[in-house]
């Protein structure tokens, strides 16, 4: 990833979406050459010189202070995810030498046991590439369409943009696609030297126009909680609340768990999913038994 270009395009895209009226400024008519705020208007709102802000928007965040970043965040009306992303871009710009590449974190046996203990809750662990690196039985059953892909680890981004079945699985495919791209943009802002992540983004940009257009928007998202809608091929429509939790002992990994609203059709659908998952377990065990019989002396 090219950090200066990322800074330039991120700041200019945030500036373009805010009108003077939204910023509380008075205008006196006349045609404006830019769709949003001018650089000098952002500088005025942030309390810095136009020359200094122009330098920042050209991608040079070296030496910028947290107080200036806070002022620019307020001037551009950045939300929490956008503010965090701007601070990540500044941290990378001021980090000096390129850090040594680190291997992706692995799921500890303790986390795997916790997943398996959540017997009535679909749950899984994902990394910054949106790989599913661990899961429990209900998590596998819920995302059975994603696991249909032969490549491992299963990856949400490849499923969303390369597999036509994702359009049926996600009733609001556009919303799911936007969230997927925003999560990847957030991850690469945090660690632009992650080769697996940058390789994935390069693959997605090369193969998918839908991804490229969304990537160019520079939207980011923390994706910590919310409501997800699915159309599962076995149980039909299901709506589940989710919570995403950072794993302190495994930096870069998130545990995500789902729950239906009690007393709703989604709770019934989840119970049906659990029954279907149990049949998958029995089929797997039967396949193992047949294999052992075939190879018995």
Domain boundaries of the chain, sorted by first residue:
3-93, 109-288
Give, in order, the Cα–Cα distances in Å from 128 to each of 77, 93, 182: 26, 20, 11
**Residue 283 to residue 123: CA distance in whole angstroms:** 22
Tokens representing 72 are: 């620019």
Q: Nearest Cα to 193, choosing from 106, 278, 281, 92?
A: 92
Q: Nearest Cα to 185, choosing from 229, 215, 165?
A: 215
Decide which of 3.10.20.30, 3.30.450.180, 3.40.50.2300, 3.60.90.10 is the CATH code for 109-288: 3.30.450.180
pLDDT attached to residue 249: 81
pLDDT attached to residue 164: 96
pLDDT attached to residue 114: 93
pLDDT attached to residue 21: 86
pLDDT attached to residue 74: 96
> Helices 173-190 and 80-93 meet at what angle, rounded to 10?
30
Mean pLDDT, the chain cut into blocks of 10 residues (297 residues total): 82 93 75 83 95 95 95 96 95 75 77 93 96 96 94 95 97 97 95 92 97 96 94 97 91 94 97 92 45 41
Whole-model pTM?
0.88
pLDDT attached to residue 279: 86
Ramachandran sector of residue 30 (left: φ over 0; alpha: ψ -120 to 50; beta: rest): left
Give the up-direction half-sphere exposure of residue 148: CA atoms within 13 A in the CB hemisphere: 15
Q: Nearest Cα to 204, choosing from 181, 233, 227, 224?
A: 181
pLDDT attached to residue 141: 96
Angle at 46 between CA 45 and CA 47, to 5 degrees: 95
Architecture of domain 3-93 in this structure: Orthogonal Bundle (1.10)
């Amino acid at each position: 990833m090219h950090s200066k270009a990322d800074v330039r395009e991120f700041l200019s895209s945030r500036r373009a979406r805010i009108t003077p009226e939204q910023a509380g400024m008075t205008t006196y008519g006349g045609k404006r050459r830019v769709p949003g705020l001018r650089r000098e208007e952002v500088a005025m709102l942030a309390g810095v010189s136009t020359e200094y802000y122009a330098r920042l928007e050209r991608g040079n965040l070296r030496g910028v202070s947290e107080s200036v970043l806070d002022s620019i965040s307020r001037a551009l009306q950045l939300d929490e995810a956008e503010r965090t992303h701007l601070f990540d871009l500044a941290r990378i710009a001021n980090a000096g030498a390129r850090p040594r590449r680190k291997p992706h974190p692995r799921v500890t046996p303790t986390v795997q046991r916790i997943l398996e203990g959540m017997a009535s809750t679909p749950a899984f662990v994902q990394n910054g590439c949106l790989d599913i690196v661990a899961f429990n039985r209900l998590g596998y059953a819920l995302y059975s369409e994603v696991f249909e892909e032969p490549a491992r680890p299963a990856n949400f981004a490849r499923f969303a943009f390369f597999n036509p079945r994702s359009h049926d699985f996600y009733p609001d495919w556009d919303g799911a696609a936007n969230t997927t791209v925003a999560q990847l943009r957030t991850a690469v802002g945090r660690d632009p030297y992650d080769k697996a992540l940058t390789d994935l983004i390069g693959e997605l940009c090369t193969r998918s126009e839908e991804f490229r257009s969304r990537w160019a928007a520079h939207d980011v998202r923390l994706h910590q909680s919310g409501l997800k809608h699915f159309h599962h091929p076995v149980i039909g429509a299901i709506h589940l609340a989710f919570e995403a939790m950072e794993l302190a002992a495994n930096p870069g990994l998130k545990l995500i768990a789902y729950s239906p609203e009690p007393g709703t059709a989604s709770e019934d659908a989840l119970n049906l999913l659990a029954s279907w998952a149990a049949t998958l377990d029995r089929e797997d065990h039967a396949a193992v038994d047949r294999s052992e019989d075939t190879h018995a002396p």
